[in-house]
Protein backbone atom coordinates (compact mmCIF):
# COMPACT_ATOMS: atom_id res chain seq x y z
CA UNK A 1 0.00 0.00 0.00
CA UNK A 2 2.80 2.40 0.92
CA UNK A 3 4.62 1.60 -2.32
CA UNK A 4 1.49 2.18 -4.39
CA UNK A 5 0.96 5.56 -2.78
CA UNK A 6 4.63 6.43 -3.30
CA UNK A 7 4.34 5.46 -6.97
CA UNK A 8 1.16 7.50 -7.31
CA UNK A 9 2.82 10.56 -5.81
CA UNK A 10 5.81 10.24 -8.13
CA UNK A 11 3.50 9.90 -11.12
CA UNK A 12 1.51 12.99 -10.13
CA UNK A 13 4.68 15.01 -9.54
CA UNK A 14 6.24 13.89 -12.82
CA UNK A 15 3.09 14.54 -14.85
CA UNK A 16 3.32 18.23 -13.94
CA UNK A 17 6.97 18.44 -14.91
CA UNK A 18 7.80 17.51 -18.47
CA UNK A 19 11.10 15.71 -18.83
CA UNK A 20 11.31 14.78 -15.14
CA UNK A 21 13.87 12.19 -14.13
CA UNK A 22 11.95 8.97 -13.49
CA UNK A 23 15.02 7.19 -12.11
CA UNK A 24 15.05 8.73 -8.66
CA UNK A 25 16.66 6.72 -5.90
CA UNK A 26 14.56 5.65 -2.94
CA UNK A 27 16.03 8.47 -0.85
CA UNK A 28 15.10 11.11 -3.46
CA UNK A 29 11.50 10.03 -3.91
CA UNK A 30 8.78 12.40 -2.69
CA UNK A 31 7.17 11.68 0.65
CA UNK A 32 4.21 9.42 -0.04
CA UNK A 33 0.67 10.53 0.43
CA UNK A 34 -1.58 8.21 2.35
CA UNK A 35 -5.24 7.19 2.39
CA UNK A 36 -7.74 9.11 4.46
CA UNK A 37 -8.93 5.84 5.99
CA UNK A 38 -8.42 2.09 5.71
CA UNK A 39 -11.23 -0.40 6.27
CA UNK A 40 -10.68 -4.05 7.17
CA UNK A 41 -12.73 -6.89 8.54
CA UNK A 42 -11.84 -8.06 12.05
CA UNK A 43 -12.11 -11.57 13.45
CA UNK A 44 -9.37 -12.45 15.92
CA UNK A 45 -7.48 -9.30 14.95
CA UNK A 46 -4.55 -10.57 12.86
CA UNK A 47 -5.24 -8.44 9.79
CA UNK A 48 -6.06 -5.37 11.86
CA UNK A 49 -2.91 -5.77 13.99
CA UNK A 50 -0.82 -6.21 10.86
CA UNK A 51 -2.13 -2.91 9.53
CA UNK A 52 -1.37 -1.16 12.82
CA UNK A 53 2.15 -2.58 12.89
CA UNK A 54 2.79 -1.69 9.24
CA UNK A 55 1.46 1.83 9.65
CA UNK A 56 3.62 2.30 12.73
CA UNK A 57 6.70 1.33 10.73
CA UNK A 58 5.86 3.66 7.84
CA UNK A 59 4.81 6.67 9.89
CA UNK A 60 1.15 6.48 8.93
CA UNK A 61 0.05 7.15 12.53
CA UNK A 62 -2.69 9.51 11.42
CA UNK A 63 -4.41 7.04 9.07
CA UNK A 64 -7.59 5.88 10.81
CA UNK A 65 -8.51 2.20 10.63
CA UNK A 66 -12.13 1.10 10.52
CA UNK A 67 -12.27 -2.44 11.97
CA UNK A 68 -15.53 -4.14 10.98
CA UNK A 69 -17.15 -7.10 12.70
CA UNK A 70 -20.51 -8.74 12.17
CA UNK A 71 -22.99 -8.37 14.99
CA UNK A 72 -23.00 -12.07 15.87
CA UNK A 73 -19.30 -12.14 16.70
CA UNK A 74 -18.44 -8.56 17.63
CA UNK A 75 -15.83 -9.44 20.25
CA UNK A 76 -13.75 -6.29 19.71
CA UNK A 77 -16.74 -3.99 20.06
CA UNK A 78 -17.85 -5.78 23.23
CA UNK A 79 -14.36 -5.76 24.70
CA UNK A 80 -13.97 -2.03 24.12
CA UNK A 81 -17.43 -1.39 25.57
CA UNK A 82 -16.24 -3.30 28.66
CA UNK A 83 -13.34 -0.88 29.09
CA UNK A 84 -10.74 -3.11 27.47
CA UNK A 85 -11.57 -6.37 29.22
CA UNK A 86 -11.25 -9.33 26.85
CA UNK A 87 -14.86 -10.44 26.38
CA UNK A 88 -15.62 -13.96 25.21
CA UNK A 89 -18.57 -14.76 22.98
CA UNK A 90 -19.70 -18.25 23.89
CA UNK A 91 -21.69 -18.92 20.73
CA UNK A 92 -20.60 -16.74 17.81
CA UNK A 93 -23.24 -16.63 15.09
CA UNK A 94 -22.60 -15.15 11.65
CA UNK A 95 -22.52 -16.03 7.97
CA UNK A 96 -18.99 -14.58 7.96
CA UNK A 97 -17.49 -17.83 9.19
CA UNK A 98 -13.87 -16.73 8.84
CA UNK A 99 -14.60 -13.93 11.34
CA UNK A 100 -16.35 -16.26 13.76
CA UNK A 101 -14.22 -16.31 16.88
CA UNK A 102 -14.98 -16.38 20.57
CA UNK A 103 -12.67 -13.43 21.31
CA UNK A 104 -10.12 -11.06 19.87
CA UNK A 105 -6.54 -11.08 21.08
CA UNK A 106 -5.42 -8.82 23.92
CA UNK A 107 -3.07 -7.10 21.46
CA UNK A 108 -6.05 -6.23 19.26
CA UNK A 109 -7.81 -4.59 22.20
CA UNK A 110 -4.64 -2.74 23.20
CA UNK A 111 -4.12 -1.44 19.65
CA UNK A 112 -7.74 -0.33 19.36
CA UNK A 113 -7.45 1.60 22.64
CA UNK A 114 -4.26 3.45 21.71
CA UNK A 115 -4.51 7.22 21.95
CA UNK A 116 -1.80 7.93 19.37
CA UNK A 117 -3.87 6.53 16.52
CA UNK A 118 -7.58 6.26 15.76
CA UNK A 119 -9.44 2.99 15.37
CA UNK A 120 -13.15 2.91 14.66
CA UNK A 121 -14.71 -0.41 15.68
CA UNK A 122 -17.87 -1.02 13.68
CA UNK A 123 -20.56 -3.69 13.70
CA UNK A 124 -22.60 -4.62 10.63
CA UNK A 125 -25.42 -7.10 10.19
CA UNK A 126 -25.14 -10.37 8.31
CA UNK A 127 -27.65 -8.88 5.87
CA UNK A 128 -25.35 -5.94 5.14
CA UNK A 129 -22.34 -8.25 4.72
CA UNK A 130 -24.29 -10.50 2.36
CA UNK A 131 -25.67 -7.58 0.35
CA UNK A 132 -22.16 -6.15 -0.01
CA UNK A 133 -20.93 -9.45 -1.47
CA UNK A 134 -23.71 -9.28 -4.06
CA UNK A 135 -23.12 -5.60 -4.85
CA UNK A 136 -19.36 -6.17 -5.19
CA UNK A 137 -19.94 -9.09 -7.59
CA UNK A 138 -22.23 -6.84 -9.62
CA UNK A 139 -19.84 -3.87 -9.59
CA UNK A 140 -16.49 -5.65 -10.01
CA UNK A 141 -17.30 -9.17 -11.28
CA UNK A 142 -15.48 -10.75 -8.33
CA UNK A 143 -16.82 -13.18 -5.74
CA UNK A 144 -15.90 -12.47 -2.13
CA UNK A 145 -16.73 -14.09 1.19
CA UNK A 146 -19.09 -12.54 3.73
CA UNK A 147 -16.09 -11.59 5.90
CA UNK A 148 -14.94 -9.30 3.12
CA UNK A 149 -18.50 -8.16 2.53
CA UNK A 150 -18.48 -6.98 6.14
CA UNK A 151 -15.55 -4.64 5.39
CA UNK A 152 -17.36 -3.23 2.37
CA UNK A 153 -20.69 -2.80 4.17
CA UNK A 154 -19.99 0.67 5.64
CA UNK A 155 -19.45 1.92 2.09
CA UNK A 156 -22.43 0.23 0.50
CA UNK A 157 -24.86 1.08 3.30
CA UNK A 158 -23.58 4.66 3.60
CA UNK A 159 -22.62 4.38 7.30
CA UNK A 160 -19.05 5.44 6.51
CA UNK A 161 -20.35 9.04 6.47
CA UNK A 162 -21.41 8.66 10.10
CA UNK A 163 -18.18 6.92 11.11
CA UNK A 164 -15.90 9.45 9.39
CA UNK A 165 -17.94 12.64 8.88
CA UNK A 166 -14.95 14.66 7.66
CA UNK A 167 -14.59 12.64 4.45
CA UNK A 168 -15.37 14.47 1.21
CA UNK A 169 -15.56 13.67 -2.49
CA UNK A 170 -11.77 13.88 -2.79
CA UNK A 171 -11.07 11.55 0.13
CA UNK A 172 -9.40 8.22 -0.53
CA UNK A 173 -10.54 5.11 1.32
CA UNK A 174 -8.74 1.79 1.03
CA UNK A 175 -10.73 -1.37 1.72
CA UNK A 176 -8.76 -4.57 2.29
CA UNK A 177 -10.40 -7.04 -0.09
CA UNK A 178 -9.58 -10.48 1.25
CA UNK A 179 -11.29 -13.82 1.12
CA UNK A 180 -12.62 -15.49 -1.97
CA UNK A 181 -11.67 -19.12 -1.58
CA UNK A 182 -14.80 -20.34 0.14
CA UNK A 183 -17.50 -18.56 -1.85
CA UNK A 184 -19.47 -19.71 -4.87
CA UNK A 185 -22.23 -18.28 -7.00
CA UNK A 186 -24.62 -20.68 -5.27
CA UNK A 187 -23.71 -19.10 -1.92
CA UNK A 188 -24.43 -15.64 -3.28
CA UNK A 189 -27.76 -16.89 -4.62
CA UNK A 190 -28.60 -18.21 -1.16
CA UNK A 191 -27.75 -14.78 0.29
CA UNK A 192 -29.98 -13.18 -2.32
CA UNK A 193 -32.92 -15.32 -1.24
CA UNK A 194 -32.26 -15.16 2.51
CA UNK A 195 -31.79 -11.39 2.66
CA UNK A 196 -33.97 -10.37 -0.29
CA UNK A 197 -31.15 -8.74 -2.28
CA UNK A 198 -31.53 -9.00 -6.08
CA UNK A 199 -28.59 -10.56 -7.92
Q: Any idea where the domains of the chain sit in the sequence?
A: 36-195
Structure confidence by residue, pLDDT tens digits, 149-183: 999 999 999 999 999 999 998 899 999 998 778 89
CA distances from 73 to 36, 69, 77, 81, 112 (A): 27, 7, 9, 14, 17
Separation CA 36–CA 39 (nearest Å): 10
pTM for this entry: 0.86
Cα–Cα–Cα angle for 20, 21, 24, rounded to 5 degrees: 135
Number of C-beta neighbours around residue 32 at 10 A:
18
Structure confidence by residue, pLDDT tens digits, 110-130: 999 999 999 999 999 999 999
CATH T-level fold of 36-195: Rossmann fold (3.40.50)
**Residue spans of the chain under pLDDT 70:** 9-32
Q: Which helix (H) or strand (E) holds 65?
A: strand 65-70
According to DSSP, residue 39 is labeled E
Nearest partner of 31 among 63, 60, 61, 62, judged by Cα: 60
Amino acid sequence: MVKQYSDLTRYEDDSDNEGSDLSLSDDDRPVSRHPDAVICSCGGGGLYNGLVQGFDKTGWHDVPIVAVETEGCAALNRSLAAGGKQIQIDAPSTIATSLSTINVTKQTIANAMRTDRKTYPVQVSDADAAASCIYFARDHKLLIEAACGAALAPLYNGKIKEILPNLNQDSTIVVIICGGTSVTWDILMSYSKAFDVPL
